[in-house]
């Protein structure tokens, strides 16, 4: 799948937004190694702080379906912005932990502008995952 095709998936994911408070829909799409594409949209709440961004919706959905970091090939994110959308700080922290370090991340807008990046560029000098003990 090309980056343009994955961006189209993110645009389709954006249609599933629930954003009556901001009226700003965001879509994200994850391409998995088995060819599956997982969509995420921003889902808002009247208690604004409980809203979930598209990026986290997509990643939490993937993990909830049993996928892990190593299953992810690429991620695309889109919104109705002049320049390619820029993920919020909270999402960068989550992406840092749940995406492989070299995963191509395609930031885009609805007009076909695409900026390719990686998590290290979005979140330099990050607080990384702590060691977990095996249960």
Q: Which is nearer to ligand THU, 51 or 93 (CB)?
A: 51
- The CB-of-32 to ligand THU minimum distance in angstroms stands at 20
Q: Which is nearer to ligand THU, 37 or 85 (CB)?
A: 85
Measured N-to-C along each axis, helices 89-98 and 54-64 cross at an angle, to the nearest 10 degrees, of 30
Residue 87 engages ligand THU in binding (rule: CB under 6 A): yes
Q: Pairing relation of β-strands 105-109 and 114-117? A: antiparallel
- The CB-of-87 to ligand THU minimum distance in angstroms stands at 4
Please pick, from the candidates 1, 12, 32, 51, the single residue that binds ligand THU as defined by CB under 6 A: 51
| Strand residues in the chain grouped as ranges (E) | 26-32, 37-41, 72-79, 105-109, 114-117
Q: For residue 125, what is the enclosing H or E element?
A: none
Please pick, from the candidates 4, 5, 15, 22, the single residue that binds ligand THU as defined by CB under 6 A: 22
Active site (annotated) includes residue 116: no
56: which residues sit within 8 A by CB, 6+ positions away?
A: 40, 90, 91, 94
By CB under 6 A, the residues from 63 to 82 that bind ligand THU are none
């Amino acid at each position: 799948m090309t980056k343009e095709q994955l961006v189209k998936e993110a645009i389709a994911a954006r249609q599933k937004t629930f954003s009556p408070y901001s009226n700003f829909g965001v879509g994200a799409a994850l391409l998995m190694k088995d060819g599956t594409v997982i969509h995420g949209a921003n889902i808002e709440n009247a208690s604004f702080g409980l809203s979930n961004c598209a990026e986290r919706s997509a990643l939490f959905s993937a993990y909830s379906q049993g996928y892990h970091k190593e299953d992810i090939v690429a991620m695309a994110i889109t919104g109705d912005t002049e320049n390619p959308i820029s993920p919020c700080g909270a999402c960068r922290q989550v992406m840092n932990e749940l995406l492989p370090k070299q995963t191509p991340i395609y930031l885009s807008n609805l007009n076909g502008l695409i900026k390719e990046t990686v998590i290290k560029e979005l979140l330099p000098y990050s607080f990384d995952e702590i060691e977990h003990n095996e249960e």
